[in-house]
Amino acid sequence: MHTEICDRLGIEFPIFAFTHCRDVVAAVSNAGGIGVLGAIGFSPEELEIELAWLDEHVGDNPYGVDIVIPGKYEGMGEMDPVKLEAQLQSMVPDDHRRFARRLLAEHGVPEPAEDQRRSGMMGWTEATGKPLLAAALRHDKVKLIANALGTPPADVIAEVQASGRMIGALAGSVKHALAHKAAGLDFIVCQGTEGGGHPGDVGSLVLWPEVIDAVDPLPVLAAGGVGSGRQIAAALAMGAQGVWGGTLWLTVEEANTSPGQMKAYLAATSRDTVRSKSFTGKPCRMLKNDWTDAWDRPDTPEPLPMPLQMMVAIEAVGATHRFPEEAKDVAFNPCGQVIGRATRVRKTRDVIFDLVEEYAEAVDRLSQTARVEV
């Protein structure tokens, strides 16, 4: 299970693990894959702390950082974070705020203390994403940058590549993938609709080969529904150079998943997710619950565009961790359909080695059962 991109990054296995937890990043990189830290939700100062810790805990192994600079969002063009936040806050209707607070109150979720409140703008604007990128580029062991929503700005691509690092972006359609290629990115993460977070609406088995063919010879990492070595074998057989996953790492021992979230993830099946705009403002796959159902009703407010909806939902996101029992039915639990395979807590290292072993078994089984007669 070794491809060209492994040589470019100096890793043993083409397994890319997206996670918001530094412990998981370190564990994956130390086990032969490459951990990718999601920077969204961190301030530049907080991210600096996380990356400094990672530098000390990955040995000589590389890791990556995922930023979010969407190709389209409310407030585009304003580069002063303070002015942008004021502008965006003024665009959030009071009806949306009241509806969200009422929904939380109905579930017994207390209002946050003043010092616990966050704006919800987070890192998914150019004004807030670029400082996170600057922090990442100060760390030599960061060998790749990924952008989660849309093609990164041209100056971001140039800056990352000039530093000797690889830069890529996620794509949920051939159109998006071709835009990434035209912009000169080094790799593409092709995510089918099964994936957690912000996927498109086409299934992985259809989308992966379409994108791989369309952008050849650009390296493609397959994402969306990858939870076993058999699925890795299928992705590589189609021409992918590796796999990118996030859901698999939500239930590992090292994850900072809250107790309430962990219980929900372990109990979930592959049919318990939904693509909803109710937290981020863009279709995002997560566990369905009372929050996602409430925002989908015809008699309730329509979710706002990114990043306005998160300014409404940020209290629910915070309650997911601070009040896990009260918030269990209104929590933000992003994950893909492969969550149905996560039925027990395992060490990250064991997950990596199981994936490699299952991959080898799948390839051997295929060679034994699908011989070509000439």
133 in Cβ contact with 145 (< 8 Å): yes
- 256 within domain boundaries: no
pLDDT (0 to 100) of residue 322: 86
pLDDT (0 to 100) of residue 150: 87
Q: Could you list the residue range(s) of the whole structural domain that residue 296 is in?
A: 76-121+269-334
- 227 within domain boundaries: yes
Q: Which stretches of the chain score pLDDT less than 70? A: 78, 114-124, 371-374
Domain CATH code at residue 221: 3.20.20.70
Same domain, 163 and 50: yes
**CB neighbour list of residue 183: distance below 8 Å, 6 or more residues apart:** 151, 152, 154, 157
- 258 within domain boundaries: no
Same domain, 21 and 96: no
- 231 within domain boundaries: yes
pLDDT (0 to 100) of residue 69: 84
Same domain, 189 and 299: no
CA atoms within 13 A on the CB side of 7: 4
Q: Please tell me the total count of domains within the chain.
A: 2
Same domain, 152 and 201: yes
- 135 within domain boundaries: yes
pLDDT (0 to 100) of residue 129: 86
Task: Indicate the pTM of the whole model.
Answer: 0.93
pLDDT (0 to 100) of residue 53: 98
Same domain, 31 and 93: no
Same domain, 321 and 289: yes
CA distance 242 to 51: 24
- 261 within domain boundaries: no
pLDDT (0 to 100) of residue 125: 75
- 294 within domain boundaries: yes
Same domain, 219 and 323: no
- 302 within domain boundaries: yes
Same domain, 180 and 226: yes
Same domain, 109 and 43: no
Residue among 338, 354, 320 nearest 247 (CA): 338
